[in-house]
Structure 1
C-alpha cells in the first residue's frame, strides 16, 4: 500500500470556489458560522456546521445535524456547484497570508500507515470529538475536512510543486479573512506516478493539525473493513483526505496562556515564586519572546521578561518545550493548575490575536495573569512525534488555516 495516493476529488465547479470555501469546522462557534454564512447559500459552512440551518439551540451532535449536512451536500451536487473529478489526481494547493506563502499537495493518505505510526501524531484525542467526526464522515460518505500533514526534507517533491505553479490554476479564491487559496489539478499520469514514488521514499509524515479527523478516518476504515467481505485495501475508506506541506514552509505561531487568578498569592509573592525557576526582568514594553527559554508575563499592568534558568532544562523532547517548562515550574506548583485539559481557571489564546489580546483579558479583570510563549518549532514537533510522545495541550497554533470545501474525498 502506498503512503499517499491520488483520488477523485469533490471540488468547486469552475469559478465557484469563492462562494464555497470556508474556515475549518473547529475554528468557529455555531453563532460565528451562522454570521459568516449569511447570504451565502453555497458556503461550505452549510456542510461543516450544518446546525446553522436548524432551529436555534439544536444540539450540534444531534442526528439531525449530520442528516442536514448530507442534505446540503446533495443540494450542492444537484446544483452543479461542486462536482467530482472523473479521474484520480493529485492537487497542488497554495495558501498566501500576507507575505507568507506555503504550497503543498492534496492527497489521500493511507490509514494503514497512520495506524502503524508512519504517519505520526503528537496529540491525544478526545473520544467525543472523534465520535463527532465519525458521524460526519458516515453521514456524508466523504471526508470534507483535510488533515494538515507535513513532510520532511524532500527536494524532489518541492520541485514538482514549484513546477506546477507555472500552470493556470483550476481554482483561485480569497476567503473572508483575505487569505488566498489556489488549487492546481495534476492530471498527468507520469507526474502522478512520480509523486507517489517520492512519498513512498519518505520515512514518515507528521500530523500538524487534524488528529481527530485522522483518528475518525481510522475508525471508519476499521468498521467498513470488518463489514466488507470483499475488502481489497483499495477502497476509498482506506485513505483519508490530507494536505501535505513541506515542514520547512510551515508557520507555527505562539499559543499563549491566561489564568483567572493568582492562586491566593499577591503579585510580589507570584514574582518571588516565578523567580525560583526564571530570571525575571521588568519591561516597559510588551514582551514577545524571541528565543527558546523566554516567556513574557503580564500581571497588574506590568510586563516581565522571564528566562528559564539553564540548569532546569531537561533533555527529554517533551519536558524541555517552553510550554512544558512553564507548566512544570509555574502553572502547576505556583498557580495550582494540575490539568491543563480540564481546569477551568486557565484559557489559551492563539498567537494570531497578538499581545494586545493578552493585555485586554488581564486589564478587564477576567484574567489575573497572562503568559506570552515562544512558538514551538516544527523540529520540536517532529522530535516529539519521532520519540512516540505527545505534546502538552495547546502547544501549536498553525496559520494560515486550510479552507474547507476546496477538495473533499469520497470514501466509497
Structure 2
C-alpha cells in the first residue's frame, strides 16, 4: 500500500505565482521562449535555462550548476519562499474543456522499487543516470510526476471540503488555463488523506517514468552516502501529483511513415489485406470509433482498416493494444520499422486536428502514409503495468500536463 508524505514546498508568494510557474521547457517554440526570457524576469524558465544570461547555450554538468545558482538567486530575491509547515497541496487546473483536481505530495521511492507504484513504459538507463546527476546537483524537483489511482469517494469528499474555501493561489495563464492551490497543514486532514491513500493497492505512473526512475536512483545514491540514513530523509520521496483515474485524459498518437519500404501502392495494399479488412473511403475523413479499427491516409485517400481477429492472435495485454497491433502487422513486417524510438522514417503526432495535419504533410510529400487509431483506455494502461509489460513508444498523450516551478520539492 503506497504512502504519501507532506512536505514544505518552496513556492512563489501570491503576487509572483502567475509570473513564476511555466510550462515544460520543451513546450515552448523558440520565439515564445525568447519572449518569456526577455520580458519576464520572474519566470522559472530563467532557472532551467541559465545560459540565457550569457547569450549562449550551456549543457552538461556546467548547466546543472548554473541551474542551481539561478534557483538560489530566486530564493535570495524572495521570488521563492519555503513554507513554514509541512503540507499536502490540493491543486486544480481548469482548461477550456477539462478540470483536473488532485493532491501534490511526496511519493515513496521505496514504493516504486517494490512495484507499489507501477509503470507501463520503458526507461533508458542513460537518461535515468543523467537526470539523477541533475537532481543531485540542483537539489530540487520542480515538476511533479503524474500518478493516478482508482476513484475513492472519501478522498474526493475531503478534497471537496478543502476546495470549498478561497485558495491560496488562483490565477489564469495566457493559454487560458486557471490554476488554484490550497495548502493543507491541518494534521487531522493530512492523516485522513494518508490513511485513505494507504488503502489503495497501487498507484500508476501516468506521466513521468524517467523522473520517477531517476528519483529512485537518487534515493539509493544518497542513502549509500549517508551513514545516518533513517528512511525519513526528503530524498526518500519524490514530488507527485495524484489524480483519480476518472480525471485522466488520454489521447492517441498517430503515426506517419516516410515511404512504403520499396513497395508500390498496390503491393502495399495487398500485404495489408492479410491482416485487415480494407475499405477505401475516398476523401471522407475517417476517424476510428472502435478498438482494433484504424484509419489510413495514402495517396490522397482515406481507408478504414478493420483487424482480422481470426488471423491475429491475442496472447497478453500488450498484444491487445492498438499501438502494438499496428507495429506487429504493418510497421515492422511490411514497412521495415523495428526501432520505433530511433527510426527517422517514422514520426508521431497528437491533437484533435492531427488527422488533418497528417493529411497535409502527406499531400505535400513529406510522408507516404499515415495511420490513426482510438486512444488507449486507463484499463489498458493498468493491465500493461499489472502484467509487468511495457507499451510501444508514443502510445499515449496524457493530460494534465503540469506546470514547472509552481511548487518546488527540495532533497
Name the CA distance, whole Å, in 2 between partners of 1:132 and 1:45. Answer: 20
Name the CA distance, whole Å, in 2 between partners of 1:53 and 1:404. Answer: 20
The answer to whether the 8 A contact 1:181-1:403 is kept is no
5+ residue gaps, structure 2, are none
Name the CA distance, whole Å, in 2 between partners of 1:355 and 1:383. Answer: 28
The answer to whether the 8 A contact 2:2-2:201 is kept is no
**In the alignment, what sits opposite 1:375?**
375
The answer to whether the 8 A contact 2:256-2:348 is kept is yes
Name the CA distance, whole Å, in 1 between partners of 2:29 and 2:61. Answer: 19
**C-alpha displacement of 1:27:** 3.8
Q: How many residues align?
A: 409
The answer to whether the 8 A contact 1:66-1:139 is kept is yes
Name the CA distance, whole Å, in 2 between partners of 1:246 and 1:9. Answer: 22
Counterparts of 1:149-164 in structure 2, within 5 Å, are: 149-164=147-162
**In the alignment, what sits opposite 1:180?**
178
**In the alignment, what sits opposite 2:4?**
4
Name the CA distance, whole Å, in 2 between partners of 1:365 and 1:38. Answer: 37
Query: Helix, strand or coil: the match of 1:95?
Result: strand
Counterparts of 1:308-347 in structure 2, within 5 Å, are: 308-311=307-310, 312-347=312-347
Name the CA distance, whole Å, in 2 between partners of 1:355 and 1:51. Answer: 38
Name the CA distance, whole Å, in 2 between partners of 1:278 and 1:191. Answer: 54
The answer to whether the 8 A contact 2:293-2:305 is kept is yes
Name the CA distance, whole Å, in 2 between partners of 1:145 and 1:250. Answer: 17
Greater shift, 135-144 or 322-331, is seen at 135-144
Give the TM-score normalised by the residue count of structure 1: 0.94
Shift of the 49–148 alpha-carbon distance from structure 1 to 2, 3 Å rule, reads: farther
**C-alpha displacement of 1:2:** 6.1
Query: Helix, strand or coil: the match of 1:375?
Result: coil
The CA deviation string for residues 203-235 of structure 1, in whole angstroms up to 9 with x for no partner, is: 000001101111111111111101101100000
Check if 1:296 corresponds to 2:301. Answer: no
The CA deviation string for residues 53-78 of structure 1, in whole angstroms up to 9 with x for no partner, is: 4443x353x22211221121112111
RMSD: 1.8
The CA deviation string for residues 129-186 of structure 1, in whole angstroms up to 9 with x for no partner, is: 2233223212221111211110123221122222222111111233332222221111
**In the alignment, what sits opposite 2:407?**
407
Shift of the 408–354 alpha-carbon distance from structure 1 to 2, 3 Å rule, reads: same
Of 96, 100, 103, which aligns to 1:102? 100
**In the alignment, what sits opposite 1:358?**
358
Give the TM-score normalised by the residue count of structure 2: 0.95
Name the CA distance, whole Å, in 2 between partners of 1:333 and 1:54. Answer: 50
5+ residue gaps, structure 1, are none
